[in-house]
Amino acid sequence: PVRRAPQSIPDAVPERKRTTPMDPANITQETHTQNSVSLRPYRDRVIHLLALRSYKKLELLARLQRDGINQKDKKSLGPILQQVARLNPKDNTYTLKSYLFKEIQKDWPGYDETEKESLELILS
């Protein structure tokens, strides 16, 4: 008699999950944007974020880390904020000093479309 394997033994090779193919153009553009922002001077990155709105120090740090940050820059955030921002003691938020708005580049690579539109309104 021929013996058959019991049906309850699972396949040795699990079935692969299907993933949606990604457009390589989108991938490279996204990483290119992050890289080009992370290569910019740290002070400029802080200025361009503060141009959009007020930030608490930890919020600002989180946003900078999302775009890529090195340890040396992380430690220099305090002194940079003292140079480029005013601290609001009521809510501990930092606001860009007004004379620095003239340094803002409207085509900053770290801005998405919504942020560019917001900036237009702020600078007008």
Q: What do you get for the CA distance between the two ends of the chain, in Å?
A: 88
User: What pLDDT, in 10s, does the model give residues 47-102?
Assistant: 999 999 999 999 999 999 988 888 888 889 999 999 999 999 999 999 999 999 99
Q: Which domains does the chain have, with CATH numbers?
A: 41-123 (1.10.10.2670)
Taking the C-alpha atoms of residue 83 and residue 60, their distance in angstroms, rounded to an integer, is: 15
Whether the model pTM is above 0.75: no
